[in-house]
Amino acid sequence: MTGWRLILDGKRPAAENMAMDETVMRLRPSTGLNTLRLYGWNPSAISIGYFQSLEAEVDTGECRARGVDVVRRITGGGAVYHDTVGDLTYSIVVPVDDPLVNGLDVLGSYGVLLDGLVNGLSALGMEAGFRPVNDIVVSGRKISGSAQTRRGGVILQHGTVILDVDPDLMFTLLRVPDEKVRDKMVASVKDRVTSVRHQVGHVRRDEVVAALVEGFGGSLGAELEPAGLTREEAALVPRVQRERFADPEWTGRR
């Protein structure tokens, strides 16, 4: 049975979180460690996809005024509001030729790597299921979204589990195409998106974490060994953070 490293992380600023994900992926060839990291965000943050326009998607003035971080991911997909209380994020780093995902393309590997989340949410009493391309839904409503990138033969997949959601706040921070449709968009999110809290009432964050760890343990077919970053990784994180994710040029490049 292949061992996996489990990083049960705390809440960090957006640029540091993204730097950790990228660093673990970049150094995977030398560390040899498959990794599952569970983490949060402090302060709350908006992350936007690699291809998104910062100016068109995010009200950066409003984010600044509310102390909300803004970061551009190295993965595609949409803008996500990571509430410091209502968001739990996971990241997985595994080589493309690992038996778990070997031969699978991006779409195929989403399903396999999301099995752990489906298992974990099901254990909490929700009828969770995978909805291609990259979502997990409960009763047809999205409770988790993920994004993946592949570099140097290594997959990084990260995504959120919505513990609690506030669409009004979300659309205060995100731009809407036109003010007249703001209410409609808020209503649409209320229809299409759900949360752990909405589904099963109040569950402590550590209970959700425990359920996900159990779920991933089963789906990865692996022993999850709690650990931190290696010395090499810990040394690289601040550089990746400074040179990429905390650099306004990177955040505003599109």
Partner 1 sequence: MPMALLKVTGGKMLRAWAEIADGRLTRVRVTGDFFLHPEETIEAVESSLEGVNARMEDVLRVILASLGDADLIGASARDVAEVVLAAAGLPGSGTARVAA
- Positions touching partner 1 (CB under 8 A) are 49-53, 56, 74-79, 105-107, 133, 147-151, 177, 254
Q: Which residues are CB-neighbours of 67 under 8 A, at least 6 positions away?
A: 43, 44
Q: Which is nearer to partner 1, 232 or 243 (CB)?
A: 243
Sign of CA dihedral 144, 80, 82, 173: negative
Closest approach, Cβ 229 to partner 1, in A, equals: 25
Q: Which is nearer to partner 1, 12 or 72 (CB)?
A: 72
Centre a 10 Å sphere on the Cβ of residue 245 and count the other Cβ atoms it contains.
25
Closest approach, Cβ 206 to partner 1, in A, equals: 32
Closest approach, Cβ 41 to partner 1, in A, equals: 20
Distance between CA 192 and CA 237 in Å, rounded? Answer: 36
Q: Which of 189, 191, 222, 212 is nearest to 126 (CA)?
A: 212
Q: Which is nearer to partner 1, 35 or 75 (CB)?
A: 75
Half-sphere exposure in the Cβ direction for 170 (13 Å, CA): 24
Closest approach, Cβ 175 to partner 1, in A, equals: 11
Distance between CA 29 and CA 46 in Å, rounded? Answer: 30
Closest approach, Cβ 149 to partner 1, in A, equals: 6
Q: Which is nearer to partner 1, 150 or 197 (CB)?
A: 150
Q: Which is nearer to partner 1, 24 or 38 (CB)?
A: 24
CB 194, CB 164: distance < 8 Å: no
Centre a 10 Å sphere on the Cβ of residue 28 and count the other Cβ atoms it contains.
22
Distance between CA 98 and CA 248 in Å, rounded? Answer: 35
Closest approach, Cβ 75 to partner 1, in A, equals: 8
133's tokens: 């391309």
**H or E element: which one contains 107?**
helix 106-123
Q: Which is nearer to partner 1, 65 or 253 (CB)?
A: 253
Closest approach, Cβ 248 to partner 1, in A, equals: 17
Strands annotated E in 117-198:
128-131, 135-138, 141-151, 154-162
Q: Which is nearer to partner 1, 165 or 224 (CB)?
A: 165
